[in-house]
Structure 1
Amino acid sequence: MKFHETDIKKIAIFRALQLGDMLCIIPAMRALRYAYPTAHITLFGLPWAKSFTDRFSSYFDDFVHFPGFPGLPEQPFNAAETVKFLTGVQGRYDLLLQMQGNGTVINPMMELFGAAHTGGFYTPDDFVANTETFLPYPDYGPEPQRHVLLMEHLGIPEKGLALEFPVTAQDEDDLAALQLPLQKGKYVCIHPGSRGAWRQWPTENFAALADYCAEQGYQPVITGTGPEVPIVEEVISKMKSEAINSAGKTNLGAMGVLIKNSRLLVSNCTGVSHMASAFQTPSVVISMDGEPERWGPVNAQLHRTINWLQTPDFNLVKKELVELMRK
């Protein structure tokens, strides 16, 4: 390793993004924790990610809310809060890893943290503190693999590319409390929402696949967050069969149990697709962002990712679903 274990007591990870993005760094975090088993690892992230670090407590020891920075679109920038944040973290960490992206906006800011050592990704024409610890951004391959490559650049051996999503007894209880009439393995999850409307497959297509699943004897469960209730209701209104509407009723943990116990998942390329990958629940994922190789699940046999921008063919999507149903 480029840094000896005895020299690295406190590590900070910078990744202020959403659920799917966070799940994709778990293979890298697994390798990092194995290399530095006694280090105190902190995540700098968006407010929601406190629950993420609680769930992945085997990899993270602490969470600090990052309040924003000019050029980062995930949350509004508050200058006073950012100055307060930088003052609070100044000089506290032995190693700070930039795992946000290619580093064009982030890397100069990273130097303001005052960490003893920094590492991460960079692009050749932009600022980089140390090419020994920063890796030219690998603009290829699945997202989890890109972060594992960073670990290998730091001399940290890979510990597999499998995703994880731990579920707890409380998660099981939260789902059971909803009293949904479901039998394990006898229902399918249809998740039509996403954080951006431009990433959402047409609702009539989701409805048609849900009806097909019902014809095969599986109960369709249309899932979603609270803000996605209108989309879910639109899908149900276009279905011929009866569906269970769980939108806005499940927290993240209960949603995990729901996906874990389902026969399969049909979704846009969002966080739930990575949850299905973690549980090895078969899935059909429709990619609307043009980067299926990056964001689609790694196991192409268990998870079928369709690049809708390249091949906008409903029959192709249904064919993938039929094949998964038959296996």
Structure 2
Amino acid sequence: MTSRAADWEATAKHVAVFRALNLGDMLCAMPALRALRKKLPDARITLVGLQSAKPVLRHFSAYLDELVEFPGDPAFPEQAVRKGALPAFYRDMRARAFDMVLQMHGSGQQSNDIVRAMAPAQWAGFVPRDELAVQGRLLPWPDHLHEVHRYLALLRYMGLDAEDDTLEFPVSTADEAEADTLAAGLGLALDRTIFIHPGARLASRRWPLGRYAAVARALAGAGWQVAVTGSQGEAEMARALTVDAGVPTVDMCGKTSLGALASLLQRGRLLVCNDTGISHVAASVHLPSVVIACGSDVARWAPLDTRRHTVLHAGAECRPCAYDECPIGHPCALGVEVDHVLAEAFGHLNRGRH
């Protein structure tokens, strides 16, 4: 295998991108995938990722041609490993004889072995240490960069034009129709709807539910309509929030497709949420937001548009946190007060959509 990737794109007919991550991670990679497609308009581009990426793929078929599901790895927490499926997965990857595989799944500490096992003609990506770098192909992990900019930096290192960091989310007419039907059925007046998303995959990344209830109570008291979003599995959380708030809310948990949710957000007034996937959907459709970042790496994940999106967080030396339940009393969450969130929320609402 050559150590240079200067002319790889001239012969690249089948390219794979390894990124076995969830919604927000995928949306942050879209600027890089857009640049990749612009360079390779006729190539077949395969995403090797999670089953949860299927709804994303449906909306970004202009950049990605297919999804091959990755069975998992013990080093990656996003899904349980299907060990019995791994031998067939690697046989399939080798049989596809990829011209290039891009490792876009972190520093390469674990993911580079996975990519090498696919046996592509060439591969490129990140390496965890400077001494492992290969010019034009293996870039030392740029820990100082925002998640969006890391993958653009990789493509530039490989010789591609990759400057545009704009997030996007294509909303189809079918998405709009589904959203319209749902809004009518739930009585949503989107021009005065504030979405609250209290969930996150890890409990350590969730701001306390009682504080979300206080925010909902204050916003409803000011005349705004509050809609609570989440997966079907978070419906109990939504009910508890409504009971605690003591005001009417609209429960949207599990009731929308990803596209319909994006369409609703596109026409709403504000999102208040944890630092999780919906934050990146809001950024992609230009809905102003107040994001409470509990435990996450703010510099890596905060929306790039700091005028439209406010990120509130309290300092904690243990960021980023990988615990499900915080073992030290959740100071990063408790350090963000209800008044802080309301001040930022009303600031955005007073300015209108911007």
| Superposition TM-score tier, normalisation by shorter sequence | over 0.9
Specify the SS of the correspondent of 1:284. strand
CA RMSD of aligned residues (A): 1.8
Instruction: Tell me the residue number matched to 1:111.
Output: 116
Task: Show the counterpart of 2:247.
Answer: 241
* Shift in alpha-carbon separation, 1:37–1:87, aligned structure 2, 3 A: same
Structure 1 residues without counterparts, runs of 5 or longer: none
2:349 is matched with 325
Q: Secondary structure at the match of 2:191?
A: coil
Q: Which has the higher helix share?
A: 2
In structure 2, the partner of 1:66 is 70
The aligned residue for residue 262 of structure 2 is 256
Tell me if structure 1 keeps the 8 A contact 2:205–2:295: yes
Whether contact under 8 Å (1:288, 1:309) holds in the other structure is no
Distance 2:79 2:36 in 1: 28
Change in 2 beyond 3 A, CA 1:207/1:309: farther
Amino acid at match of 2:172: T
Cα shift at 1:267: 0.2
Is 1:172 equivalent to 2:176 in the alignment?
yes
Question: Quick check: 73-82 or 108-117, which moved more?
Answer: 73-82
Offset, 1:307: 1.4
Residue identity opposite 1:101 in structure 2: G
Segments of 5+ residues of structure 2 without an aligned counterpart are 317-331
What percent identity do the matched residue pairs reach? 36
* Aligned residue in 2 for 1:145: 149
Deviation of 1:175 (Å): 2.4
Q: Partner of 1:288 in structure 2? A: 294
Which whole-Å deviations, capped at 9, do the CAs of 1:1-48 have from their partners, x for residues lacking one? 823533111110000111011111001111111111111100001112
Q: Distance between the aligned counterparts of 1:275 and 1:143, measured in 2?
A: 15
Cα pair 1:273 1:283 within 8 Å, conserved? yes
User: Shift of the alpha carbon at 1:129?
Assistant: 8.2
| Counterparts of 1:131 and 1:74, CA distance in 2 | 31
- Of residues 215, 222, 230, the one that matches 1:216 is 222
TM-score by length of 2: 0.87
Residue in 1 that maps onto 2:211: 205
User: For 2:82 and 2:285, how far apart are their aligned partners in 1?
Assistant: 38
Does structure 2 retain, via aligned residues, the 8 Å contact 1:290–1:309? no
Q: Residue in 2 aligned with 1:226?
A: 232
The residue type paired with residue 31 of structure 2 is: P
Residues paired across the two proteins, number: 326
Partner of 2:190: helix, strand, or coil? coil
Does the residue aligned with 1:138 lie in a helix, a strand or coil?
Answer: coil
1:271 aligns with 2:277: yes
**Which residue is 1:187 aligned to?**
193
- C-alpha distance in 2 between matches for 1:194 and 1:290: 11
**Which residue of 92, 95, 99 maps to 2:100?**
95
Amino acid at match of 2:336: D
Which range is displaced more, 310-319 or 20-29? Answer: 310-319
